[in-house]
Amino acid sequence: MNLYDFQDQISVITGGAKGIGLAIARRLAKSGARVVIWDSNPAAPEETLGAGRGHAALEVDVSDYRSVQHALDRTLEIFGRVDVLVNSAGVVGPDCPLWEYPLDQWVRVQRVNLDGTFHACRAVVPEMIRSGYGRVLNIASVAGKEGNANGSAYSASKAAVIAMTKSLGKELAGQDIAVNCITPAAAKTDLMLEMSDDYIAAVLAKIPRGRFVTVEEIASLSAWLCCRENSFTTGAVVDISGGRATY
């Protein structure tokens, strides 16, 4: 495993208690970062990241800006700054045609996936501007590029995350703050529990590699995008879809 130098960098991972977020948190922690997990149901960091490194876990509802701001205030009290922000918190939503999509579930998906990413960026980026350094990584999806049938809310939310990443990357391009997103194919995480067997089979059939991406593969790509060496790439959409993406 390649390790980048995150020694004593403060890395906030939303949705970091499980799935892709946890894999990224573990990868950065192994590279020396002090990780702060923001999650609606966080586990004690010594249970997931190991003891002795000064990690932290805070209960946060990313769909509520006040909760995000409170978590940032607490993070700054403990660590003093934020060097890396990874927005991984997300939900899939129901598997059904758009014209049957429950209105409350449409709102839920947008509030977590899109608003949650916006809230974290809005709160944390000013701190990065003040310190003169930062790396932001938003976890989007290949669904945001191509759209998944019976997944309109999820696809729309991730397309919006892609566009927001490009906008924020341009806004911060004159500073040592990189803002990028990745577009993974489906990975076997707890989000899969929200999908039907037919939906999972249909998604898998679209991946030329013929398998799901692993969370460790996603974490590996994420580590480079979040590291100090990534000093030029910003506003980018980096594919990790096993050949599915057509652009």
Phi-psi region of 81 (alpha: psi -120 to 50; beta: other; left: phi over 0): beta
List the structure tokens of 182: 């990745």
> Does the active-site annotation cover 154?
yes
Question: 84 with 25: CB under 8 angstroms?
Answer: no
The DSSP line for 33-91 is -EEEEEESSPPPHHHHT-SSS--EEEE--TTSHHHHHHHHHHHHHHHS--SEEEE----
> Among the options 4, 65, 154, 247, which is catalytic?
154
Burial class (CB in 10 A: 0-12, 13-18, 19+), 74: middle
Positions marked active-site: 154
